Amino acid sequence: MENKYSVVIVGAGSVGMATGYYLAKTGIDVLLIDTHNPPHDKGSHHGETRLIRHAVGEGEEYVDLALKAQANWHQLEKESGKTLFIPTGTLMVGESDAQFIQETVKNAKTFGMELEEFTAEKIKKQWPGFELPDHFKGYYEHTSGALLNEECILAYRQQLLKYNTEILENTKVNSLEFHENGVGIKTAKETFYAEQVIITVGAWIGELLSSLKLPIQTVRKTLGWYSTDELLYKYPFLPSFYFCYEGHKYYGFPDITGNGVKIGRNDSERNIVPDLLEQDFGKYDNDKQDLNKFVERFLPGLSGQLNYGRACMITKTPDKHFIIDRHPENNHVLIAGGFSGHGFKYASILGEILSQIVIDGESKYHIPDNFSISREPIKDHKVINFDNSYKTV
């Protein structure tokens, strides 16, 4: 049969590209299909940098994954000869009773990880670019930092080519056909066949797997870069940071590449249909206002120096945990999605996990129960489409 592969990966973003890499290394014939030409700015993997924290605040089930992911990123650096990780360290700062900070501190203690505690006064002395109220506390993780996310995807892609793996660009998969011994993958021009299919399409997971009625919410996020000539805002003089205060969450990076200090808000978003995402930073007043207010309050030396901004998407599940599971109606389909804005750092280990499931039927790494597609917050929600917005109830 023509167009037949052992594995087809639909979606060649961060997790898809990583999975293809691990499969290709074993000699399995793999085809990756992507609607665009990765890395690109039409999804969730662009924007220069991503935080990788180890004592994470999203739950203790992620700590071991984060540590394994860090090791895999270092391995990819060695194989590719590229710099992919910048050891900026990460400063978690804000009100000490913030739940996200408390969870981070708890996980650090549980797993014996070092977090150096800072008072506001000590932070301002160590990193004078910050201005903080006296009651704030900080927790500094020395071994964490920034991933150069687009470089990571390029590195995986270049390694894939060494194994003669095929990547079909600018091609959208319209539907899947379930067969007894495999799956048909239909595009506008042709149909491909695979013994196993891995779905890693990010924000398009709800559309491609519409029969499952997944409670996926796709939202538009914005981030901006603030220009500076001052060394105190550049790497290595400023760490990466994550702020939790008054119910808000912001994150940022020092000026690493010369494009400026990157700032993003993690709790401000607008519902969007994936195909309608545009690079339209500034369309809404709060695109700039949210970032400027944060900068004026906590990094006043950057105030008024917004260089440019970007829009991106995240794809949330109701509980903000991932989906890593077999399709409930067809065992030849493996689903990976719903990364809820904190998935990129784990792409290197998720790619390894998915490849092991394909090859061996299971992974040697523990997959948390709350990654199941049949967990309560997934199966008890419905997705509603109206006014070009996806919302969950």
Q: Which of 316, 343, 363 is the last residue of a domain?
A: 316
The DSSP annotation for 330-387 comes to: EEEEEEEE--TT--GGGHHHHHHHHHHHHHHSS-SS---GGG-TTSHHHHT--EEEET
Mean pLDDT of all residues in 180-193: 96
Q: Which of 272, 288, 316 is the last residue of a domain?
A: 316
In a domain, 84, yes or no: no
Same domain, 304 and 156: no
Average pLDDT, the chain: 94
Co-location of 275 and 166 in the same domain: no
Distance CA 138, CA 116 (A): 8
Cα 202 off chain centre by: 10
Are 104 and 210 part of one and the same domain?
no
- 51-73 pLDDT, tens digit each: 999 999 999 999 999 999 999 99
Domain that holds residue 336: 4-45+150-215+319-392
Q: Do residues 36 and 68 touch, judged by C-beta distance below 8 A?
A: no
pLDDT bracket for residue 381 (50, 70, 90): confident
Do the domain assignments include residue 292?
Answer: yes
Is 77 part of any domain? Answer: no
**Residues 160, 232: one domain?**
no
Work out the angle at residue 39's Cα, subtended by the Cα atoms of residues 35 and 45, and round it to the nearest 5 degrees. Answer: 95
Contact 146, 49 (CB under 8 A): yes
Structural domains of the chain, count = 2
How far apart, in Å, are the Cα atoms of 10 and each of 33, 193, 208? 5, 12, 10
Shared-domain flag, residues 377 and 236: no
| Torsion angle defined by CA atoms of residues 95, 97, 100 and 106, in that order, rounded to the nearest 10 degrees | 120
Residue 352 lies inside a defined structural domain of this protein: yes
Return the HEC string of 74-133: HHHHHHHCCCCEECCCEEEEECCCCHHHHHHHHHHHHCCCCCEEEEHHHHHHHCCCCCCC
pLDDT of residue 338: 97
Within this chain, do residues 173 and 261 fall inside the same structural domain, yes or no?
A: no
pLDDT attached to residue 2: 74
249 and 309 co-located in one domain: yes
Closest CA to 31 of 234, 168, 190: 168
Burial class (CB in 10 A: 0-12, 13-18, 19+), 269: middle
Longest dimension (CA), the chain: 69
Taking the alpha carbons of 75, 78, 79, 80 in that order, is the dihedral positive or negative?
positive
Q: Are the C-beta atoms of 61 and 116 separated by less than 8 Å?
A: no
Domain CATH for 39: 3.50.50.60
Instruction: Give residue 387's pLDDT.
Output: 37
In a domain, 81, yes or no: no
CA 68 to chain centre: 16
DSSP string, 190-234: -EEEEEEEEE--GGGHHHHTGGG----EEEEEEEEEE----GGGB
Task: List, for residues 257-291, the tens digit of each pLDDT value.
Answer: 999 999 999 988 899 999 888 889 989 889 899 99
Task: Give the tens place of pLDDT for each residue, 117-161.
Answer: 999 999 999 999 999 999 999 999 999 999 999 999 999 999 999
Q: Assess whether 179 and 309 both reside in one domain.
A: no
Residues 283 and 379 in one domain: no
pLDDT at position 388, please? Answer: 37
Residue 209 CA to its chain's centroid (Å) = 20
306, 274 Cβ separation under 8 angstroms:
no
CA distance 39 to 371: 26
Q: Which residue, 316, 340, 359, sits at the end of a domain?
A: 316
Predicted confidence (pLDDT) per residue in 293-332, tens digit:
999 999 999 988 999 999 999 999 999 999 999 999 999 9
From the number of C-beta atoms within 10 Å of its C-beta (0-12, 13-18, 19+), residue 134 rates as exposed
Residue 165 has a pLDDT of 95
Residue 389 has pLDDT above 60, yes or no: no
Q: Indicate whether 332 and 234 sit together in one domain.
A: no
Q: Fill in the DSSP letter of residue 302.
A: G
C-beta of residue 228 within 8 angstroms of C-beta of residue 238: no
Q: How confident is the model at residue 391 (pLDDT cuts 50, 70, 90)?
A: very low
What is the full DSSP assignment across 252-292?
EE-B-SSS-EEEEESS--EE--GGG----TTSSHHHHHHHH
Q: Are 115 and 281 in contact (CB under 8 A)?
A: no
Please report whether residue 73 resides in a domain. Answer: no
Q: Are strands 261-265 and 137-141 parallel, antiparallel or unpaired?
A: unpaired
Residue 61 lies inside a defined structural domain of this protein: no
- Which residues share a beta bridge with 267? none
AA letter at 190: E
Residues 264 and 331 in one domain: no
154, HSE (Cβ side, Cα atoms, 13 Å): 12
**Phi, psi angles (nearest 5°) of residue 377:** -65, -15
Q: What is the pLDDT of residues 72-100, one digit of tens each?
A: 999 999 999 999 999 999 999 999 999 99
Structure tokens at 308: 């440019």
* Statement: residue 1 has pLDDT above 80: no
Q: Strand 49-52's sheet: what is its strand order?
A: 49-52, 145-148, 85-86
Let me know if residue 274 belongs to a domain: yes
**Which CATH number goes with the domain that contains 299?**
3.30.9.10
Whether residues 193 and 335 fall in one domain:
yes
Q: In this structure, what are the phi and psi dihedrals at residue 102, rounded to the nearest 5 degrees? A: -60, -40
